[in-house]
Structure 1
Amino acid sequence: MTAASELHFKSVNYTGQGKGPRLIVMGAVHGNETAGTKGITRVMEMLDKGELRILNGSVTFVPVANPLAYAKGERAGERNLNRNLFPNEHPQDFEDRIANWLCPLLAAHDVLLDLHSFNAQSQPFVMVGPRNNDGPLEPFKHEEEERALARILGVKRFVDGWLRTYGDGVQRRMRGSAELQTVLRYGVGTTEYMRTTGGYALTLECGQHADPQAPEVAYRAIMNTLAHLGLIDAPKPQPVPREEMEALSMVEVHDKLHDDDHFSRSWASFDRVKEGEEIGRRADGTPVTAPFDAIILFPDTGAKANNEWYYLARVNAAF
């Protein structure tokens, strides 16, 4: 395998002659998540053959955001690129070097579509940002545009509340610690960083890693986004009807307290639990139960002590 020091970063830009937004589409932020790379490659081939034309604005494609992780076929190169994503004057690892290239590139655009996939068998979903606010954690002013884009990607499941819920967990763990802000930064990935630059952004989870339909989900989402933003000559895609949407808000994160804490069964994201139902057991045998009727998200059997173990979400009727 090529040494990390010999790898380079690649982006490809297509700019139309008319005015329009600047879109960036990324794949393989995690190296084993290739659906986005395949969808991007398909659209780039159409553009290069003249089968598709960018008429307004511009689109930049990053088929492989993390070339080291991609070469390894693993989630990370040296660490998770989608955490603590900030420029670093003194890069400590390969992902820091990616960030020094990627963060200015994100800041030069208006809209980000970041394409991912996941481990367990489940339906695709999109992660959206916060409501408009001027608070200290994640100030934002593009709620309407971001959620309108989410509804035309071609999926019916929507999840919000990531950074707020993650931040609540950090503050619980580190109440009074001088390191609080540093650790809060760890929750910032591609979409969160994009929002700090004044843009808006979505993470689309296209399906299970090996699902042959996942690249099709990525392709459809790219094409719908290009049409929705007016970059190509195509009809505007229709938003998914509200009665067909499944909108969820992350509300709680629960930590492992000991490495020997364990789940009582094999949970997958979007499994439903009833209030009082056992989710796991602490190392001393104490049961961990659901505090309310909820949906489990991102259960992590490999989590270490004092790290996120699983999240709980509720149905959000006001998406």
Structure 2
Amino acid sequence: MPRASFGIGTVRIRAGSMREVGLPITRLVTGADVSLPVRVVHGRQDGPTVWINAAIHGDEVVGVEVVRRVLARLSPKTFNGTLIAVPIVNVLGFMAGERYLPDRRDLNRSFPGSARGSLAGRIAHLMMTEVVAKCEVGIDMHTGADRRTNLPQIRADLDDPRTRKLAEAFGAPVMYHAKLRDGSLRSAARDRGATVLLYEGGEAWRFDEWAIEAGVLGVRRVLAALGMIDAPEGEPPQESLVCRQSGWVRAPGTGILQLDAALGQRVETGDRLGGLSDSFGKRVRLIRADRPGIVIGRTQAPLVNRGDALVHIGEVPGDTPGMTAGEGDFVINA
């Protein structure tokens, strides 16, 4: 018996086909309509229903390219299950070149939203009812915030067996056991019973190829682990490091930053990470690691003030003392 069609918005997609749908969000003062762009891959064979999304923050473009490349390699004729892809959730922020919505609300603190709420609440509600509610697994893609870059990493509830299995399948250099944040898509979707992975990689407004490629491979590995596609070709990924605690090394003073720490670098307490100088190049302060672990994020800002976050170090339980950068690590000179 043929597989049933899939409904989203006001349309239905027949099995073995792919279709783009625009879910209405709002109308601009010019009279133009704004919609949530969605592409549905409805496979010919039965399988899970999964969503992938990017650009909940309008400046996070890495995930947009990840979604594009993942979709480009899928065929609904050979696909098992259904994939709902939302490359740009914060459409208005993305078009304006802004992280947040026009009213300065953070969309990722507005879930599950409300059909009669603010613009952020209505977008969140639309995402929850038309996408999340139809799915059992989701991958939410992000990058570092303004002038910060992140090592490719999965943030998830690693104490949940199914979530951890899919995080391991993704194969990012680091898996971080991250607490849920009220108002986030991950928290709201988890309350609805979905298994959610949050991918972090790269910098805002940058097409960092290493972060894009890690994201594409990771998403394809998860789809393969769910039986939706064949496993990607090539060498299997190295086992992900597990982090449960982390902290930022902050600027000990104000100055021009020369940062030597690379993403993926292993550090020990007291290791030199860089330094601060004045406008004539005179060294004013050194920056040192305050804990052992792996560099999972760093600032890209050249000028910093006392207390600014500089290097994000993830602690790795049972790590080998004295291990240096490059010994089997994913080291990126961002």
TM-score range, shorter chain: 0.5 to 0.7
Aligned-partner Cα distance in 2 for 1:314–1:125: 14
Alignment equivalent of 1:14, drawn from 41, 46, 55 = 41
SS of residue paired to 1:82: helix
Aligned to 2:176: 160
Amino acid at match of 1:13: V
Larger CA deviation: 19-28 vs 144-153: 144-153
Please say if 1:79 is aligned against 2:105: yes
* Deviation, structure 1 residue 225: 2.2
- 8 Å contact 2:41–2:76 — kept in the other structure? no
SS of residue paired to 2:169: coil
Please say if 1:62 is aligned against 2:89: no
Amino acid at match of 1:108: K
SS of residue paired to 1:152: helix
After superposition, give the CA deviation of every residue in 1:15-34 in whole Å (9 maximum; x if it has no partner): 22433211101121222222
Q: For residues 222-261 of structure 1, what are the structure 2 equivalents within 5 Å? A: 222-232=219-229, 234-235=230-231, 240-242=237-239, 245-250=240-245
Alignment equivalent of 2:124, drawn from 90, 93, 99 = 99
Aligned-partner Cα distance in 1 for 2:132–2:43: 19
Aligned-partner Cα distance in 1 for 2:171–2:64: 18
5+ long unaligned stretches in structure 1: 132-142, 165-183, 280-287
Larger CA deviation: 17-26 vs 267-276: 267-276
- 8 Å contact 1:14–1:54 — kept in the other structure? no
Distance 1:23 1:275, change over 3 A: same
Aligned to 1:147: 164
Distance 1:158 1:84, change over 3 A: farther
Alignment equivalent of 2:137, drawn from 111, 114, 118 = 111
Aligned-partner Cα distance in 2 for 1:34–1:200: 23
* Deviation, structure 1 residue 9: 1.3
Structure 1 length-normalised TM: 0.66
Structure 2 length-normalised TM: 0.63
Number of residue pairs aligned between Structure 1 and Structure 2:
271
Aligned-partner Cα distance in 2 for 1:197–1:261: 45
Please say if 1:198 is aligned against 2:193: yes
Return the structure number with greater helix share. 1
Aligned-partner Cα distance in 2 for 1:293–1:201: 29
* Deviation, structure 1 residue 293: 3.9
Aligned-partner Cα distance in 2 for 1:57–1:251: 37
Which structure would you say has the larger Rg? 2
After superposition, give the CA deviation of every residue in 1:57-99 in whole Å (9 maximum; x if it has no partner): 211111111101111223222322222422235423x322211
Distance 1:314 1:214, change over 3 A: closer
- 8 Å contact 2:142–2:201 — kept in the other structure? yes
Distance 1:3 1:9, change over 3 A: same
After superposition, give the CA deviation of every residue in 1:244-303 in whole Å (9 maximum; x if it has no partner): x322112568999xxx99799677777777657999xxxxxxxx9987545676678899
CA RMSD of aligned residues (A): 4.2
* Deviation, structure 1 residue 194: 1.7
Amino acid at match of 1:102: M
- 8 Å contact 1:247–1:317 — kept in the other structure? no
Identity of paired residues, percent? 22
5+ long unaligned stretches in structure 2: 1-26, 274-286, 320-334
Return the structure number with greater strand share. 2
Aligned to 1:88: 114
